[in-house]
């Protein structure tokens, strides 16, 4: 596509939403079908503004619901287009049915989810309830810790998702308001470099290729459904993970910015560690540095790729620590936290496993403060000295009122 180039400086002050919208513009998306919902609206609104200002030649389709938004994306992707959209919370809940259609039909759609609490009670602020709502839908899932990640991971997602050996849709998660509406310095690429990294879209099995007719979304029942799903799972685990490593490496060569599926900070000699996602990673890193100044060997592990879940890399990251706290920003509603469960599963079969405790925090946008994390690291130190978890295996951080029973 030819269009008047928008010149960008090397560093821009962008929030996560604008960073994602710019990435969609620079990737030269063919179709964005969308329905607005807080706090993700500025992503698709930004793309629509680029369209009205003639910065993109793609189509913006305003639909009647989030279910229709993904349905429109599915149709456009099946027809052979590069396709993207964004949503949050209740909108994602309405969209979930169609997510399984997209992954089952191997359509490389990119979805930005600006993570927000699920009602009721109604709340428009950020937690990870919606992230976990779709974790088993067959989509590749990345997690941005900052606006820089929201920008970079969109390009990475397109390149991984559209690879003909992969052909699975991808999600980029970012924390509602804490990333989406918080401005930070973002190191950008010029338009030619950004598009050159993603490359010209090469459709596969598109329905408008009349010389090679195909059918999408066929019915299989018990004769082939199992095999289809088993292959999809196997490809996620065996093909997607090395492809992500390859694209991360290519991106680092281009930009100097390094991404890893599991990102470790001060973990070389750590005795105690916090395992978390999103903006909490940056806060935990700052506190870990302060704890080290006090003599505590503190570290942080941030999960960059949620699906496929990098079991072996989680094992490698945690195998030498003595105690680790798993932070879940989502209410488990009658079970251990989702991330707590997955980390425990990873470490259960490993010959070396730390003391593992779980913490639910920050629901509905409640702040995770540095004081909370200082107390948490001190608690982990107590566990190490006692040789066991000295509190409940899982507990809440920052809940007002009487202490609530958890697990």
* Structure tokens, 144: 């941005």
Determine, yes or no, domain membership for 3. Answer: no
- With tokens 């259609």, the residue in question is 101
CA atoms of 362 and 357, how far apart (whole Å): 17
Mean pLDDT of 260-286: 98
Counting the structural domains of the chain, the total is 2
pTM: 0.96
Task: Check whether 72 has a pLDDT greater than 70.
Answer: yes
CA atoms of 358 and 17, how far apart (whole Å): 30
Q: What is the pLDDT of residue 256?
A: 96
* Structure tokens, 26: 């620079």
Is 237 found in the same domain as 102?
Answer: yes
CA atoms of 328 and 326, how far apart (whole Å): 7
Q: What is the pLDDT of residue 237?
A: 86
- With tokens 């918080």, the residue in question is 182
Is 92 found in the same domain as 55?
Answer: yes
Q: What is the pLDDT of residue 394?
A: 87
Is 266 found in the same domain as 222?
Answer: no
Mean pLDDT of 383-400: 92
Task: Check whether 1 has a pLDDT greater than 60.
Answer: no
Q: In the chain, helix, strand, coil percent, each to 5?
A: 40, 15, 40
pLDDT tens profile 346-366: 999 888 889 999 999 999 999
CA atoms of 379 and 399, how far apart (whole Å): 17
Mean pLDDT of 105-111: 97
102-116, 225-239, 282-296: segment of lowest average pLDDT: 225-239
Q: What is the pLDDT of residue 392?
A: 86
Beta-strand pair 11-14/184-187: antiparallel
- How many Cβ atoms are within 10 Å of 315's Cβ, its own excluded? 19
Determine, yes or no, domain membership for 371. Answer: yes
Mean pLDDT of the chain: 94
pLDDT tens profile 201-248: 999 999 888 899 998 888 999 999 999 999 988 888 899 999 999 999
Please say which residue of 237, 255, 273 terminates a domain. 255
Q: What is the CATH number of the domain that holds 162?
A: 3.40.50.970
* Coil vs helix vs strand at 7: coil
Task: Check whether 3 has a pLDDT greater than 50.
Answer: no
Q: Which helix (H) or strand (E) holds 368?
A: none
Q: What is the pLDDT of residue 406?
A: 72
Determine, yes or no, domain membership for 402. Answer: no
Picking from 273, 253, 274, 249, the residue whose alpha carbon sits closest to that of residue 261 is: 249
Contacts of 74 (CB under 8 A, 6+ apart): 98, 101, 102, 105, 107, 109
* Coil vs helix vs strand at 275: strand
Is 312 found in the same domain as 198?
Answer: no
pLDDT tens profile 132-169: 999 999 999 999 999 999 999 999 999 999 999 999 99
Q: What is the pLDDT of residue 152?
A: 98
Picking from 16, 37, 42, 22, the residue whose alpha carbon sits closest to that of residue 182 is: 16
Determine, yes or no, domain membership for 5. Answer: no
pLDDT tens profile 7-45: 555 899 999 999 999 999 999 999 999 999 999 999 999
Is 317 found in the same domain as 240?
Answer: no
Q: What is the pLDDT of residue 7?
A: 53
Q: What is the pLDDT of residue 407?
A: 64
Which range of residues forms the domain containing residue 51?
Answer: 11-255
Is 321 found in the same domain as 240?
Answer: no
Q: What is the pLDDT of residue 76?
A: 97
Q: What is the pLDDT of residue 2?
A: 42
Please say which residue of 255, 283, 301 terminates a domain. 255
Task: Check whether 402 has a pLDDT greater than 90.
Answer: no
Beta-strand pair 355-360/394-396: parallel
More confident residue, 129 or 403: 129
The share of the chain scoring above pLDDT 70, in percent, equals 97
Q: What is the pLDDT of residue 202?
A: 95
Task: Check whether 272 has a pLDDT greater than 70.
Answer: yes
More confident residue, 406 or 214: 214
Q: What is the pLDDT of residue 217?
A: 86
């Amino acid at each position: 596509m030819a269009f008047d180039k928008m010149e960008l400086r090397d560093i821009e002050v962008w929030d996560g939403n604008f960073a994602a919208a710019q990435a969609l513009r620079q990737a030269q998306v063919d179709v964005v079908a969308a329905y607005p919902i807080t706090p993700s609206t500025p992503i698709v609104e930004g793309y629509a503004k680029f369209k009205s200002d003639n910065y993109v030649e793609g189509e913006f389709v305003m639909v009647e619901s989030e279910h229709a938004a993904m349905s429109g994306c599915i149709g456009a992707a099946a027809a052979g287009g590069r396709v993207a959209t964004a949503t949050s919370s209740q909108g994602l809940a309405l969209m979930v049915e169609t997510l399984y259609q997209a992954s089952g039909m191997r359509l490389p759609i990119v979805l930005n989810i600006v993570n927000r609490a699920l009602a009721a009670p109604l709340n428009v602020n950020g937690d990870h309830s919606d992230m976990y709502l779709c974790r088993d839908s067959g989509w590749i899932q990345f997690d941005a810790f900052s606006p820089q990640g929201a920008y970079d991971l969109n390009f990475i997602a397109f390149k991984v998702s559209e690879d003909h050996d992969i052909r699975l849709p991808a999600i980029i998660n970012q924390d509602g308001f804490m990333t989406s509406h918080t401005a930070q310095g973002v190191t950008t690429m010029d338009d030619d470099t950004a598009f050159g990294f993603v490359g010209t879209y090469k459709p596969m099995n598109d329905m408008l290729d009349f010389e090679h007719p195909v059918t999408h979304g066929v019915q299989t029942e018990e004769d082939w459904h199992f095999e289809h799903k088993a292959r999809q799972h196997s490809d996620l685990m065996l093909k997607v993970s090395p492809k992500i490593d390859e694209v991360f490496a290519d991106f680092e060569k281009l930009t100097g910015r390094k991404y890893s599926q599991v990102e470790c900070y001060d973990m070389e000699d750590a005795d105690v560690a916090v395992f978390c996602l999103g903006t909490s990673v940056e806060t935990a890193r700052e506190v870990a540095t302060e704890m080290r100044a006090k003599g505590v060997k503190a570290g942080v592990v941030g999960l960059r790729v949620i699906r496929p879940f990098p079991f072996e890399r989680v094992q490698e990251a945690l195998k030498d620590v003595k105690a680790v706290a798993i932070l879940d920003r989502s209410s488990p509603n009658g079970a251990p936290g989702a991330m707590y469960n997955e980390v425990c599963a990873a470490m259960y079969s490993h010959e070396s496993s730390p003391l593992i405790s779980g913490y639910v925090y920050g629901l509905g946008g409640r702040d995770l403060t540095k004081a909370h994390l200082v107390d948490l690291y001190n608690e982990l130190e107590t566990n190490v000295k006692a040789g066991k978890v000295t509190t409940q295996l899982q507990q809440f951080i920052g809940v007002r009122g009487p202490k609530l029973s958890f697990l």
